[in-house]
Structure 1
Amino acid sequence: MNVDEEIEQLKNEIQRLGQKQPNGSYKVTFGVLFNDDRCANIFEALVGTLRAAKKRKVLTYDGELLLQGVHDNVEIVLK
């Protein structure tokens, strides 16, 4: 998969696992994404895909690098 395909797949997974917000965006925590079996099977490097999506302004989250455990409660917002 190339980066664009992975970002599209990530968007689908955030919509599946997240909660739709009144403004139409979707919100999910990093822990929910990271611990989901389906996401674990799809993404070899979830953190890398998240960073690429953030660079392209597809989604937002606080910080630069997300780590399992430490950042499980960080909210990821799909615009």
Structure 2
Amino acid sequence: MKNCTSETLSNNPCHQIDISQCGKATLDNLKEKPWKTIIKKIAHNWRTRSKLSRLNDAQLKDLGITAADVDHEVRKPVWK
């Protein structure tokens, strides 16, 4: 994605096209970020819950959580 600056605009004789391209690039960037954030959150939740579900009772005790806590967390949808 191309970032547009005032310098870029002043160096180009056809400002209208650059402004339109800058606007489109900005809108595309705004549309992508929420999806990237959601996908990162889903991946993080999946990884951490997967690791949590593999801990033994001694490790859970060290963390101060119970098997019921783990079960509750693991059953949540990955996007939450």
TM-score (norm 2): 0.26
Taking CA–CA contacts closer than 8 Å with sequence separation of 6 or more, which of the two structures ends up with the larger relative contact order? Answer: 1
TM-score (norm 1): 0.27
Tell me which structure has the larger Cα radius of gyration.
Answer: 2
Higher strand share: 1
